[in-house]
Chain A
């Protein structure tokens, strides 16, 4: 999601599931929606049936999506950037892009400073010792007079983004794409033709993706390339357009929005770091400004950051947060460096947390709810040994998972003998979805309330009760005994009617936020926009002086004085475009299509009148909830209000591995990079260096391997479900027919797959769906397997190897997401 945020301003699916029916072209790449999002995929079929939309599937395998596509294109796993930059090159070369849109709504016309450059695989500013870029080299050029952004609307200045992009993608000719991706040139050109047919006002297309793009050491830049392509084609902000990220879990979007990860606070506010010692320092570092720090044709919505932050601190510390103590800012833990997934287990395994050169204690206790690190993370042999170092582990779950039973993992997992594992493990029976109420946020940002149907079974309890009871017990100990900084523990608000089992409706109200005192209307001080205690209605009511509390500014509007809007169930669809404005609540502000200002032209008229997003009626914007000040006339503000410069970014200086995407091989590279052999893999990515972090080379591991899901199973849970086990009984390895024949591997026989980390065994599925590809002049074999099994399956479930036994500790340098989708293996008969 980092790439969408860096490009458009917000890191989430731009449109909606039903909106896909409005597309003329759908490029499904980096995902297999027919398999993994089947009930959302119906809207692909709807688009095909009712609009005659063309569906293009690009995937290493001939998937279930490919089976119903108008065109299938094979691709080598992990080579998507070359493919997408190839399409961008084609669009520019042939003029099949939406020039007026690019001029109006993107930074195509913006000039970049002289310090930016790219040579032989590296952008300027790379430091080889730290593997990091100095991103200040990629700044905008200031206009000498105004000191604001220098802009050339004709996009002919050689230093403007459009020209720099044109130059950057020059190398990605159809021949080069074929050489890198293994895609036949003719197929690739057909894809280019279909996709770029939407590069105009009349037509509109969408790109859909999932973890097949995210889980690479170049994942963020793959998605960047797609987002740039959509900007170039003028497809962002429009019904039937967008970049639609299909998330893999029912509330993974919600977990991201609600600070699931170490680097963010609720609502994508930044986690404070050591150098930011005061709230003032922090706000200065976190609040974006325009180039000359003055007004620009942009709302720069993040300029409201201090209001979001003050309101969050008030929601967190309540009365303990005062102006005098900077709303309790000092109590917030500060970070130094990286605390994400692979660092957690690396530090745990090595027994030290290196921060600013000093050793701090490593995690000795781990609390996990609804998550199975043993199965989910890469490099299971390292994981099992990391967990074995813990002093204590708390697991809240519905089923016995591999994480709770890591101490009894089969011998081949390489963990210590149980007698040598000092960990006290608590397995707490928690509630399933049907046994608790509350909201899940779907991929399309809809917060949907669900009602509780039954009590948890046996002696199981709801997750909120388990967490609350543990927390209250810890607080009691601090009240009785004191300890390290007790204020940090005791000053957080917990004022629920039932503190030991908080009512989730009350929590949602707290997330939405309320006025703490009367808030006067700035236009007429005799009137109040909110009176003390009233629920807030919109972002505009938030204050930076501690007079409002709000747990997550992004969710504002979900629980107003009108009630719990996540419970709304109106099926009315006045536009017929599938927006359903009164069905539950969509963040932000109940807006169904983000960046919808870009759905209309310079005058505010819909690019395509049959599919309007919002239009200007002379007084205000009407249609969807406008993603712009509702009464701001066309031309006043840019269409991308979250970006300080007000436009979508074809060039983005925010990411850690370059302002433009560039093709790099996976960390476990099967070939040298054909474009720049000296810089084969992503130069900004980091490897780990413990004895368990081993990486394979093609001479020992000559096959490319990828992983995926099946429609009949879900992650690591459904191995307990009998009917699904009958449909898909166990682990298998998909092997191209030609290769299997050469190796004498029969369909249904046992095979062993080995990576540098270890070996797993499964049933051979010899298939035509994966074909050998011609890559860089040589035949390349790809195999793959699904992920759904493990050794913990209770009394009646199906067991199988953990797929991540084989995957490497490699990651994207922006999101630190593991590279599950491309790694090296060898294959033998077992």
Chain B
């Protein structure tokens, strides 16, 4: 934490009084208002282990069209029956996960044989991926197995899903897998 001269003086109230020659306790009290007093509180669930602690995410920035909300604080939800407001070290540092400098911000592609990333637009990325999926499916589609039974599967594509995707995403993913005929599918649940 950076200690500014003003912050230092504020912290040593006596010093302030002497320096200014009048009582600033009321003004100090104003400045000591909690930084979360004007935030929006959003109920969420910690994304780490399966205790699934309730968390409250505090964002600053009203809902105005030109304002972008930013997460300023995350704390345990005292209403939550399981964690009752407590969080472990990981949950207590969730703000750092949300506002992390290493977060990915733009789509990138690594071309065959290349040793580096290149930026790519969403539209181009999606068009190229869709082309790959279609070409691979058409090329590898197995309508009948060795016994002549109809199996309608695409062994050329594998799809795996993680542990912090929502149930709703997982259902959408299951639909996509089914639509593409993907037999190779697995998730974190296995490993």
The reply on B27 being an interface residue by CB < 8 A is no
Residues of B within 8 A of A343 (CB): 184
Select B159's contact among A366, A451, A454, A510, beta carbons within 8 Å.
A366
In the complex, the answer to whether A717 meets B150 with C-beta atoms within 8 Å is no
Q: Give, as a whole number of angstroms, the nearest-CB distance from A100 to chain B.
A: 33
Task: Say yes or no: A440-B52 contact (C-beta < 8 A), given A399-B104, A427-B108.
Answer: yes
Number of interface residues of A (CB under 8 A): 174
Interface residues of A in 551-599 (CB under 8 A from B): 551-552, 555, 569, 571, 573, 578, 580, 583
B111-155: CB near A (< 8 Å → 1, else 0) gives 111110100101001111111111011111111011101111111
A175 to B47, CA, bound (A): 44
In the complex, the answer to whether A250 meets B132 with C-beta atoms within 8 Å is no
A-contacting 9-mer, from B4-12, B15-23, B29-37, B95-103: B95-103
In the complex, the answer to whether A358 meets B146 with C-beta atoms within 8 Å is yes
Q: From DSSP, what is the main secondary structure of chain B's interface residues?
A: mixed
Task: Say yes or no: A426-B107 contact (C-beta < 8 A), given A448-B52, A474-B133.
Answer: yes
Q: Which residue of B lies closest to A392 (CB)?
A: B132
Select A250's contact among B42, B46, B74, beta carbons within 8 Å.
B46
In the complex, the answer to whether B189 meets A260 with C-beta atoms within 8 Å is yes
The reply on A24 being an interface residue by CB < 8 A is no
A42 to B80, CA, bound (A): 13
The reply on A207 being an interface residue by CB < 8 A is no
In the complex, the answer to whether A448 meets B45 with C-beta atoms within 8 Å is yes
Residues of A within 8 A of B125 (CB): 426, 428
Interface residues of A in 323-370 (CB under 8 A from B): 330-336, 339-341, 343-344, 347-348, 353, 355-358, 360-370
The reply on A122 being an interface residue by CB < 8 A is no
A357 to B61, CA, bound (A): 62
In the complex, the answer to whether A333 meets B191 with C-beta atoms within 8 Å is no
A433 to B97, CA, bound (A): 10
Residues of A within 8 A of B100 (CB): 398-399, 720-721
In the complex, the answer to whether B98 meets A434 with C-beta atoms within 8 Å is yes
In the complex, the answer to whether B181 meets A488 with C-beta atoms within 8 Å is yes
Residues of B within 8 A of A610 (CB): none
A37 to B48, CA, bound (A): 10
Task: Say yes or no: A724-B93 contact (C-beta < 8 A), given A367-B157, A471-B179.
Answer: yes
Residues of B within 8 A of A118 (CB): none
In the complex, the answer to whether A721 meets B115 with C-beta atoms within 8 Å is no
A262 to B155, CA, bound (A): 12
Q: Which residue of B lies closest to A354 (CB)?
A: B146
In the complex, the answer to whether A249 meets B188 with C-beta atoms within 8 Å is yes
B161-172: CB near A (< 8 Å → 1, else 0) gives 111111111111
Select A438's contact among B154, B163, B167, beta carbons within 8 Å.
B167
Q: Which residue of B lies closest to A335 (CB)?
A: B183
Q: Give, as a whole number of angstroms, the nearest-CB distance from B180 to chain A.
A: 7
In the complex, the answer to whether B136 meets A447 with C-beta atoms within 8 Å is no
A507 to B140, CA, bound (A): 31
The reply on A289 being an interface residue by CB < 8 A is no
Q: Give, as a whole number of angstroms, the nearest-CB distance from A61 to chain B.
A: 19
In the complex, the answer to whether B51 meets A442 with C-beta atoms within 8 Å is yes
Q: Which residue of A lies closest to B187 (CB)?
A: A260
Residues of B within 8 A of A727 (CB): 89
In the complex, the answer to whether B93 meets A723 with C-beta atoms within 8 Å is yes
Q: Give, as a whole number of angstroms, the nearest-CB distance from A232 to chain B.
A: 27
Interface-central residue, A485, A711, A727, by most chain B CB under 10 Å: A485
A464-501: CB near B (< 8 Å → 1, else 0) gives 10011111011111100101110011111110000000
A10 to B179, CA, bound (A): 28
In the complex, the answer to whether A453 meets B126 with C-beta atoms within 8 Å is no
Residues of A within 8 A of B14 (CB): none
In the complex, the answer to whether B50 meets A39 with C-beta atoms within 8 Å is no
Can you report 6 residue pairs joining A to B where beta carbons are below 8 Å apart? A252-B187, A334-B149, A334-B152, A367-B158, A474-B133, A485-B143
Q: Chain B interface (Cβ within 8 Å of chain A)?
A: 40, 42-54, 57, 59, 68-71, 74, 76, 79, 81-84, 86-91, 93-94, 96-98, 100-115, 117, 120, 122, 125-134, 136-143, 145-147, 149-176, 178-191
Known A-B contacts: A260-B185, A429-B103, A508-B168. Give 13 more (CB < 8 A): A248-B49, A256-B187, A257-B167, A368-B161, A418-B115, A424-B128, A436-B166, A451-B44, A467-B172, A470-B176, A552-B171, A569-B43, A817-B191
Q: For the complex of A and B, list the 8 residue pairs with the smallest distance between their C-beta atoms, beginning with the closest.
A: A370-B162, A458-B105, A794-B102, A260-B187, A438-B166, A249-B163, A442-B52, A473-B130
